[in-house]
Each structure stands twice: as C-alpha cells, then as structure tokens.
C-alpha cells in the first residue's frame, strides 16, 4: 500500500473516532430543575418546551408551587438549579446579601451575580362567570366584606399573593382577623387554588394575579395600584447548589429574549430584564 493511501486511511480513522467522540459528547444530557411561582405555570411550560426544542440536550423539569413553599423546600435541601419567586421576600430569605431583617437565618443559596428582576405582575380582583355578586371594584369588595355580603378567596399569609392581599386589606383599614372570624374569607395555599375557587364560583371573588385570571378565562374587575400593595416583582436567580450553573444561566438569559417577552406579555406580565 502506498504511503499516501496509508496516511489517508489513518486520517480517516482518526476523523471517524473524533466524530464518534464528539457525538458522544454532544449526546450528553443536562437536566435543569426550575422552581417557579405557581402563577408562571402556563408561560414557563410553554417557554420550556420551546427552549428544549431548540436545545435537544437540555431537559427542563419544573416545580410549580407557592413561592413560600418553594423557598422552604430549597432551604431543606431540595435540588433546584433556578428559583423564580413571585415576591422579593422569598428570594431575600435565600440571599445572603439581603437585609438581616428579612434573611434572619443568614441563608446563602443564591449564586452571586445571577439574581435579577425578570417580570412585573398585577394583583387583580377576579369574579366568577356572570359575576353573580355584582362586585365591580375593590371598593365594592370592601363594602361587601364589611356588611357580610361578599365571600373572598385569598392566599395564605406565607405566599406572595396572600401577602399582597393582606396589604390591600390594611390599605382599607380592615382587620383580617375580624373578617376571618365573620366567615367572609376562605384561605388557599397558592394562587392556583384561589383561581380554582373563583372559577368554580365557590366564592364571590378572589384576589389573584392578572396573569392567572387571563389563563383561567376569568373576568378582572379591578387591579391594585402600587399604593395599595406595592409592586409585584418577580426575581430570578441560579442557586449555589446547581451542578449546571452555566446551563441555568443560559435558560434565564433565554427568558429575557424577545421570544420569551412575547409569551409573557400575552398573558399580562410586564418584562423587566
């Protein structure tokens, strides 16, 4: 065999082995676990599917629940690459750079330099189909709570939507304890449960996010302004315990693209990043 032909065979074999090795490398799978507020279920599920279609080696597993529950799970050792909260408080309780008044335990779960505010939402007053109780504003709700004619569904105090609702009640100088004792409030563990209560007309109205109302096809009769409950800002961050920090950063970057913005805006989110 001529030397040139021998060299070509050797080179061909080397290329074949290299391509095989590259193929094995490219076939390596990365699984990202994303802990996200329940109010993001529809949008993140859609965006996750789009991202995985474009990045075949990445699998995204979502855990949707109240931000308070997710925060506790992370503190207790649950594997999470990314956390997206519906409120700053829950993220602050995991961030060592946050005030000690909020992060009293000195929890240090947020990967430095990865936290940012990704979205803004609105706290909405939603009613069942046909609005049987005729509640058309927060003022009307307050009047109904005072005279006992309205039944309100709200989130528990450990979840952001419940905390925003408490602020609205405080804004109107109402005692939540007295209202609960009067039987005009029913509590839910997360915003999706509140949404379900309203959808099934088990209550006269519920305070949820406008994005959840949109997804559930509910009528929003009023939204709270910043003076009533503050801004509803969603922070996002990679967790220090992530074994796939670069992949997690890449997914969060994708969530700030024009494609992602369009999905968020379609249901009522306002992108901030």
pLDDT tens column, 199-208 = 999 999 999 9
| pTM (whole model) above 0.85 | no
pLDDT for position 15: 36
pLDDT for position 28: 83
pLDDT for position 37: 96
Print the SS3 string covering the chain. CCHHHHHHHHHHHHHHHHHHHHHHHHCCCEEEEEEEEHHHHHHHHHHHHHHHHHCCCEEEEEEEECHHHHHHHHHCCCCCCEEECCCHHHHHCCCCCCCCCCCCCCCCCECCCCCEEEEEECEEEEECCCCCCCCCCHHHHHHHHHHCCCCEEEECCCCHHHHHHHHHHHHCCCCHHHHHHCCCEEEECCHHHHHHHHHCCCCCEEEEEHHHHHHHCCEEEEECCHHHHCCEEEEEEEECCCCCHHHHHHHHHHCCCHHHHHHHHHHCCEECC
Mean pLDDT for each 10-residue chunk of the chain (273 residues)?
40 40 60 97 97 98 96 97 96 97 96 98 97 98 98 95 97 97 97 97 98 95 96 97 97 98 96 88
Would the CA dihedral through 258, 263, 266, 271 be positive or negative?
negative
Q: Is 73 exposed, middle or buried (0-12, 13-18, 19+ CB in 10 A)?
A: middle
pLDDT tens column, 119-138 = 999 999 999 999 999 999 99
């Amino acid at each position: 065999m001529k030397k040139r032909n021998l060299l070509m065979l050797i080179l061909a074999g080397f290329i074949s082995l290299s391509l095989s090795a590259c193929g094995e490398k490219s076939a390596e799978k990365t699984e990202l676990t994303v802990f996200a507020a329940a109010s993001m279920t529809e949008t993140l599920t859609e965006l996750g599917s789009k991202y995985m279609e474009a990045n075949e080696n990445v699998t995204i597993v979502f855990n949707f629940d109240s931000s308070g529950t997710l925060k506790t799970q992370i503190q207790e050792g649950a594997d999470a690459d990314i956390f997206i909260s519906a409120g700053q408080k829950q993220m602050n309780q995991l961030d060592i750079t946050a005030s000690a008044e909020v992060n009293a335990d000195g929890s240090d779960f947020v990967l430095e330099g990865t936290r940012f505010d990704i979205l803004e939402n609105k706290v909405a007053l939603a009613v069942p189909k046909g609005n049987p109780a005729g509640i058309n504003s927060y003022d009307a709700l307050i009047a109904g709570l005072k005279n006992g004619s309205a039944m309100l569904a709200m989130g528990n105090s450990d979840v952001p939507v419940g905390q925003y609702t408490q602020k609205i009640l405080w804004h109107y100088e109402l005692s939540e304890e007295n209202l609960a004792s009067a039987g005009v409030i029913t509590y839910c563990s997360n915003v999706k449960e509140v949404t379900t209560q309203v959808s099934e007309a088990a209550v006269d109205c519920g305070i949820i996010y406008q994005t959840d109302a949109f997804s559930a096809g509910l009528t929003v009769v009023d939204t709270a302004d910043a003076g009533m409950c503050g801004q509803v800002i969603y922070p996002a961050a990679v967790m220090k315990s992530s074994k796939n920090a670069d992949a997690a950063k890449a997914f969060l970057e994708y969530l700030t693209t024009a494609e992602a913005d369009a999905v968020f805006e379609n249901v009522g989110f306002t992108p901030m990043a």
